[in-house]
């Protein structure tokens, strides 16, 4: 059990080309917390999340990842030929997570019916739910979510919000870039 922050960042600054995207951004996510990143389009919310995930190298500052994290972004990571079942199977194996839970995960995400349909034929909402299903494959304390509510219908939204609250109750933390209404109580908002 990690007692301090699950993920913390200090004095992050980022430059794209010659433009300063943001600077002096610090944040820390503790167990049970949900941090919402706010900012206008192009302010660098996605870039900040990518820095937190370790994908993008910040110009200044550092990120301390005390716990493992899940990554859900606008680009879902789904290959056109993959079905929800093969996608989850692949990532379960890649992460060393058990594969016998995939049926249960598909059921929970209401993906049983299209479970063997390849992604190029899935609707945007189904694709998004497939990506979100990765969150349930393996217990990871930090969820990094970039606009997780996009493309979801009312049911899907409900489902994700319940997953988020369960995750927080289990002692997980959420850092999400959200435009508009979050739909859950955030512990803190960070505006960049």
Which residues are at the interface with other proteins (CB under 8 A)?
15-20, 50, 53-57, 69, 71, 73-82, 86, 90-91, 93-96, 118
Q: Are the C-beta atoms of 184 and 17 separated by less than 8 Å?
A: no
Closest distance of CB 87 from other proteins, Å: 9
Tell me whether residue 74 or residue 107 sits nearer to other proteins (CB atom). 74
Minimum Å distance from CB 75 to other proteins? 3
Residue placing its CB nearer to other proteins in the complex, 93 or 107: 93
Which bin fits 17, alpha (ψ -120 to 50), beta or left (φ > 0)? left
Output 46 or 162, the one with its CB closest to other proteins: 46
- Which residues share a beta bridge with 20? 15
Q: Are strands 34-38 and 60-65 parallel, antiparallel or unpaired?
A: unpaired
Shortest spacing between CB 126 and other proteins, in angstroms: 15
CB of 185 to other proteins, least distance (A): 28
Sheet holding 34-38, edge to edge: 69-72, 142-146, 173-177, 34-38, 188-191
The position carrying tokens 């959200």 is 178
**Spatial distance between the Cα atoms of 39 and 192, rounded to a whole number of angstroms:** 5
**Cβ closer to other proteins: 32 or 89?**
89
Distance (Å, whole) CA 129 – CA 111: 8
Q: Which is nearer to other proteins, 16 or 107 (CB)?
A: 16
Taking the complex as a whole, the smallest distance from the CB of residue 70 to other proteins amounts, in Å, to: 9
């Amino acid at each position: 059990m990690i007692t301090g922050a699950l993920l913390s960042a200090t004095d992050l600054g980022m430059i794209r080309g010659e433009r300063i995207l943001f600077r002096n951004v610090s944040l820390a996510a503790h167990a049970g917390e949900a941090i919402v990143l706010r900012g206008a389009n192009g302010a660098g919310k996605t870039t900040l999340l990518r820095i937190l995930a370790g994908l993008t190298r910040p110009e200044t500052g550092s990120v301390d990842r005390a716990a493992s994290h899940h990554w859900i972004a606008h680009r879902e990571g789904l290959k056109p030929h993959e079905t929800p079942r093969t996608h989850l199977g692949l990532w379960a194996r890649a992460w060393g997570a058990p594969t016998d839970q995939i049926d249960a995960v598909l059921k929970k995400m209401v993906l049983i019916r299209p479970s063997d349909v390849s992604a190029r034929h899935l609707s945007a909402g189904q694709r998004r739910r497939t990506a979100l299903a990765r969150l349930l494959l393996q217990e990871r304390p930090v969820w990094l979510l970039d606009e997780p509510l996009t493309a979801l219908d009312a049911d899907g939204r409900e489902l994700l919000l319940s997953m988020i609250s369960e995750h927080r109750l289990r002692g997980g933390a959420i850092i999400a870039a959200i435009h508009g209404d979050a739909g859950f109580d955030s512990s803190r908002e960070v505006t960049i």
